[in-house]
Amino acid sequence: MMIDILVPELPESVADAVVAQWHKQPGDFVERDELLVEVETDKVILEVLAVASGTLETIIEKEGTTVLAKQILGKLKEGEAKAQQAESKVEPSVVNASPSVRRLIHEQDIDAQQIKGSGKGGAITREDIENQQNQDDASEEIDINVGREDKRVAMTRLRKRVAERLLEAKNVTAMLTTFNEVNMKPIMDLRKQYQPLFEEKHGVRLGFMSFYVKAVTEALKRYPQMNAAIDGDDIVYHNYFDISVAVSTPRGLVTPVIRDTDTLSFAQVEQTIKTLAVKGRDGKLSVDEMSGGNFTITNGGVFGSLLSTPIINPPQAAILGMHKIQDRPVAVAGKVEILPMMYVALSYDHCLIDGKDSVSFLVAIKELLEDPIRLLLDI
């Protein structure tokens, strides 16, 4: 029996998709529910699984082709195959890896046959790929002057969408940025004291992001215009707190949303961030998880950024940028002390937010982070 391999239903407001990667080739035997092909929209990657065991008969739509919902991607011939035949048709080094690692192998055009897996059962890990790349880089350095060439790669749908939104933010907002600095010693001392107990009870580490999210939430309560958006000639004030958190993934920057942050505990915030980060890395974020959001937090400090001006995520009115924590000499009560300091940057739409309110909002975040007990006492 011949079965059509179809493009799945696309998310609302998404017109089409692109065939991102075929994980099987004609003649390959596949088990039921095994990954056949991935299609990429400007928001998410959708996996197309085999609805039955059988052999991939033909590929109709090749990688890079634009497709519509329910369009036929290929044909699957239902039926069993001998185990040895099935194994001979599958590339062991590619199959023996997690989906995220297989995607990384494809995106970086790596010859998986050259990599010896160090994971369980010989599975290829991210460390194996990095080690292989380091070896390749070392060999390339020797021949760096031998030849000159360019490599042209088509932009992914996600990268195109990110570019469009960045240009939109620049063109439709009167964006300004205000800066301040935060003494992170109180939070660092608090984390050091309670980290073991927190992790033992909640099964997740106490990070900085939960403090940032809770401080922003409290500041948004005090300054509702920061939690608003412009819609035509109207200002829409939101009476709920959905905060987008910028997450870097192999495919680009995404901003999944933590919803109702005013009702979440520190542990719930950390657990939500961990879940969203893993989904983002593996390309598993749903449209709903990336939709909405009234304010964005981005942390360039994890990459070593000391100071930057983040770009607003429309239609939001503001974005907070966190940076690297670095020991610096600071004047305290007439004396110089070495303290772990962090610059913070607030970019905002001046069409909606006045300078006084933006500065006051950032100062409120600074005060809450420098005295984190206030977050627990709601003062």
Give the residue numbers marked as catalytic.
350, 354
Residue 28 tokens read as 């390959």
Write out the DSSP string of 307-359.
---PPP-TT-SEEEEE---EEEEEEETTEEEEEEEEEEEEEEETTT--HHHHH
Residue 340, class by beta-carbon neighbours within 10 Å (0-12 exposed, 13-18 middle, 19+ buried)?
A: middle
- CA–CA distance, 327 with 186 (Å, rounded to integer): 14
Neighbouring residues of 344: CB distance < 8 A, sequence distance ≥ 6: 179, 180, 181, 182, 320, 321, 322, 323, 362, 365, 366
- The CA distance from 347 to 369, in Å, is 19
| Cα gap 219→359, rounded to integer Å | 12
**Residue 214 burial class via C-beta count within 10 angstroms: exposed 0-12, middle 13-18, buried 19 and up:** buried
Two structure tokens written together for 47: 């996996």
SS3 at position 175: strand
CB atoms within 10 A of CB 93: 19
117 secondary structure, DSSP code:
-
* DSSP-assigned states of every residue in 39-106: EE-SS-EEEEE-SSSEEEEEESS-TT-EE-TT-EEEEEEE----HHHHHHHS-HHHHSB-HHHHHHHH
For residue 235, give the 3-state DSSP assignment.
strand
